[in-house]
Amino acid sequence: MKPDTLTGRITESNIKYLKQLSKQYPTIDEVSTEIINLQAILNLPKGTEHFLTDIHGEYEPFQHVLKNASGVVKSEIERLYGNTLTQGDKKELATLIYYPEQKLDMLLTSKNNIEDWYKITLYRLVEVCGSFSSNYTRSKVRKAMPQNFTYILEELLYTQADCPEKRRYYSEIINSIIDIGRSREFIIALSNLIQHLAIDRLHIIGDIYDRGPGAEIIMDTLVNYHLADIQWGNHDILWIGAATGLEVCIANVVRISARYANLETLENGYGINLLPLATFALEFYKDDRCDCFVPKFCGDQSYSTKEIRLISLMHKAISIIQFKLEHDVITRHPEYGMNERLLLDKIDYRKGTITLGGKTYELLDKNFPTIDPKDPYKLTPEEKELVRKLKLSFINSERLQKHIRFLFSNGSLYLTYNSNLLFHGCIPLDNEGNFFPVKLGKKKLAGKELFDFLEIKARQSFFHGDGNRQSADLIWYLWTGPHSPLFGKEKMATFERYFIEDPQTHQETRDPYYSYRDDEQTCNRILEEFGLDPNSSHIINGHVPVEKKNGESPIKAQGKLIVIDGGFSKAYQPMTGIAGYTLISDCFGLMLVSHEPFKSTEVAIKEETDILSSSEVLERAETRKLVSDTDIGKDLREQIQDLKLLLAAYRKGIIKEQNRMSRN
């Protein structure tokens, strides 16, 4: 809204704005119609929001949770047919909605009277779809419909079959769909429309990438999703840096992919050529056992002994390159306070030991064929050439660049939306619980100001490449820096985990935020810092898995803060005891959903097994929350105010209406 329209008066300073608005609504009739439409939208129920985090490449459970809307679709089927359908019929209907193409292929071979089944199923799907569509305007539902079925769908959804003539009309539409052989296509269209309408907006609170096998599939799904936003996680920012061409981020991405035997995402998902790395590893590490670099297996991948051997060699080769590349960034930025992460010069290469904190440890792996003890951080000519080739492959991956651009256009470091503050990791705090001033360059920044500064720098880095060295280095700092809001630990003990047996050296002390996040006053200060009312707002986080099996609760600070990282990634499920949390915010309140491990899409379709989930109602309102109570409602009221001023300007003759002739 123009500032001058806040007073509700037409002034000389806002006439220019109103004239621009009149081009969109050139007549009194059009302005009046739009005001009525917007007023009506304000009285619709608030759309359902779906919150997920820390997906880490686990595309099958991710896609299933999207399709079933964390139980929203199943609940609606239960509400509509709880006492009129058997459990088997309800499960069949739900599975059909989730996977219409695959389920139809199975069902059509087993049904005796297929026409009767089509008719019954179409009626049920229309009823379910109609229930979800009632939360939206006809215009919004129409935009979600497939174009080839728009007219028929509208007729079915909005025809009130409460009299014989209407029932006959309704029935004839269904019969015609069956008679002309379009039942399959129509069922698919209806099922997809139900999935679309079940969730109004999707929030991904970080860490789409790494560990699991299908981050690129998840990104394709998000690119095509009707409305989604992403709050970047530290793993996402690492891939952003790699796509930018930042060499130290590229090395980290490749290392993690090798560590979790997930090279397919790089090679097949993004077309990254890893042959130069394999060739290099075979040349320089062919006689190395690489026992410390045998990959972890989080999924069901089956590799031959030779394949595991090669991945191990590649894993070690890129790890050493990473440690070397980190040296230049750390020495360029003493303000990062990361000199203690420079460990290659702390090694006694003759004895095979390293001295840290005044204590000497024997290394688990003592073979360093590419390190010059006199200049341990210097890349060999072969390493330089390998890094150059990898960099070219990353910056020229069309699919990767498309996905990273989507992360920028639909993502951010944090989001305030409908009284919720969403961010992946933490707000850096000091030991007293105050906002910690992080020194970056010559500036010291804390709280919201820190987030805003870092987000601008991240965007500058991507759009200007590594030509903007300070911004590019900050991308890497966001991944692993001691006061990064995305990382939230004093160090990333990568070297120690590979080379030192003593688990004490593996400890990564968390930011004080994680001690204070259960304190209601601290959460209130954070909410106020980001412009939210503490009495009605929540903080929603991911990043650190909730160890439910050890009794930890995802609900902190008397409900002010909710952590929804419950272990989507198979790597974390032994720790959490579940397979992820999701959060649903609908017109009646908040509901936390915990999920059991997902077997497979094939099993879900064949056996009609949904993810076993349990729900916990966090908040329940007595009356429905409407669009008028949301951030969108606030924007709509401002638009209405502007339109009312334009209407007044027309009626007072300050601005002239335009008829069709004058517009042409």
Half-sphere exposure of 517 (CA within 13 A, CB side): 23
Contact 527, 562 (CB under 8 A): no
447 alpha-carbon distance from chain centroid = 23
**pLDDT of res. 66:** 94
Contact 293, 316 (CB under 8 A): yes
**pLDDT of res. 2:** 56
**pLDDT of res. 45:** 94
**pLDDT tens digits for 207-237?**
999 998 899 999 999 999 999 999 999 999 9
**pLDDT tens digits for 103-119?**
999 988 888 889 999 99
**pLDDT of res. 597:** 82
Q: How far apart are CA 448 and CA 414, in angstroms?
A: 9
**pLDDT of res. 7:** 52
CA torsion angle for 131, 133, 138, 140 (degrees, to 10)?
170
Beta strands in 526-605 (DSSP E): 538-541, 555-556, 561-563, 581-586, 589-595
**pLDDT of res. 440:** 87
Q: How far apart are CA 255 and CA 326, in angstroms?
A: 13
Contact 156, 173 (CB under 8 A): yes
Q: What is the residue-averaged pLDDT of the chain? A: 92
* Cβ-Cβ contacts under 8 Å for 277 (sequence gap 6 or more): 254, 314, 317, 318, 386, 390
**pLDDT of res. 302:** 77
Residues of the chain with pLDDT under 70: 1-8, 160-163, 298-301, 465-468, 611-613, 659-664
**pLDDT of res. 442:** 82
User: What are the structural domain ranges in the chain?
Assistant: 3-38+637-663, 65-198, 215-499
**pLDDT of res. 598:** 82
Q: How far apart are CA 656 and CA 653, in angstroms?
A: 6
**pLDDT of res. 167:** 79
Q: How far apart are CA 56 and CA 239, in angstroms?
A: 12
**pLDDT of res. 466:** 52
